[in-house]
Structure 1
Amino acid sequence: MSTSIRPIKAGDKQRWLVLWQGYLDFYKTVVPAEQTERTWTRIMDPEFNMKCAVAERDGTLVGFTTYNLQNSTWSPNGHCYLEDLFVDPAVRGTGAGRALIDYVKAFAIENKCSRLYWNTDEDNETARKLYDTYVLESGKRQYRVSL
């Protein structure tokens, strides 16, 4: 079984919702249904700066990633931020996560970004094993001010 990566399509919504809920459950968080719908609308809108790619195995979506381009005062072409990455636990370790990251990396290169970056929780050891094969963590700390 091989994994293919492609941009999300409107017909993927029901399975994406299942994966999205798995992602939220993993991070022990809840977002209102309105925000989930807003996120779906944004990733489907070609004019909005949010992309989504999905991992597919045997016709079933098994993962997704959202990403976007960001301007930067530090580089001429900006950065690419990989915001969300989730793979169905049943297929973790099969290369789907790596394939999703590589897809976004190719997008960032195509758009001449100077950096691809993402965040994860410090205790997300399974994901960090994969992420560390790309580069070691930056040492930066993220500060969040809720508004």
Structure 2
Amino acid sequence: MALTEDGIPLGFANYVLHPHTWSDKTLCYLEDLYVSPKARGRGVGHALIEHLIEVGKTRGWGRVYWHTETGNAPARRLYDRFKAADDFVRYTVSL
């Protein structure tokens, strides 16, 4: 999903839908959220996440979730406006 202004891309959200192991609800993983440097601080990222959440509510998804680096303070300030970080730890095996 993308947000544009006068045909110029301001940002996008790349997400993946997948089944939940323990329920019949579809889950949404927000894989990438990008906002053009010129558009940062204008609410573009917030609008993209808010829209994705609203789509999920309309379609009956169970959750929208994402990850970020612990040191990414600007992203964390945005994300904390939706929900505080949880206690999960991510493990990655590069192949």
- TM > 0.5: yes
State the match for 2:74 in structure 1: 126
Separation in 1, partners of 2:12, 2:69:
18
Q: Which residue of 2 aligns with 1:104?
A: 52
Correspondence for 1:73 among 21, 28, 37: 21
Query: 1:106 deviation in Å?
Result: 1.6
Gapped runs of 5+ residues in structure 2?
Answer: none
Please tell me the residue identity of whatever aligns with 1:94: R
SS at match of 1:116: strand
State the alpha-carbon separation in 2 of the partners of residues 94 and 60 from structure 1: 15
Q: Secondary structure at the match of 1:102?
A: helix
TM-score where L is the length of structure 1: 0.61
Which of these residues, 116, 132, 136, is aligned with residue 64 of structure 2? 116
Q: What amino acid does structure 2 have at the position aligned with 1:119? A: H
Q: Who wins on radius of gyration, i.e. which is larger?
A: 1
Task: Tell me which amino acid in the other structure corresponds to 2:60.
Answer: K
SS in 1 for 2:87: coil
Matching residue of 1:12: none
Residues 71-125 of structure 1: per-residue CA shift (max 9 Å, x gap): 1113221211111100011111111101110121122212211111011111110
Q: How many residue pairs get matched?
A: 95
Which residue of structure 2 lines up, in the alignment, with residue 146 of structure 1? 94
Moved more, 109-118 or 130-139: 109-118
Identity level (%): 40
Looking at structure 2, the residues matched to 123 and 75 of structure 1 have their Cα atoms a distance apart, in angstroms, of: 33
Within-5 A mapping of 1:1-147: 53-147=1-95
CA separation in 1, counterparts of 2:12 and 2:2? 4
Distance (Å, rounded) in 1 between the aligned partners of 2:26 and 2:91: 21
For the residues of structure 2 that align with 1:91 and 1:72, how far apart are their CA atoms?
34
Normalised TM-score (structure 2): 0.92
User: Structure 2: which amino acid aligns with 1:89?
Assistant: P
Structure 1 residue ranges without an equivalent (≥5): 1-52
Aligned CA-pair RMSD: 1.1
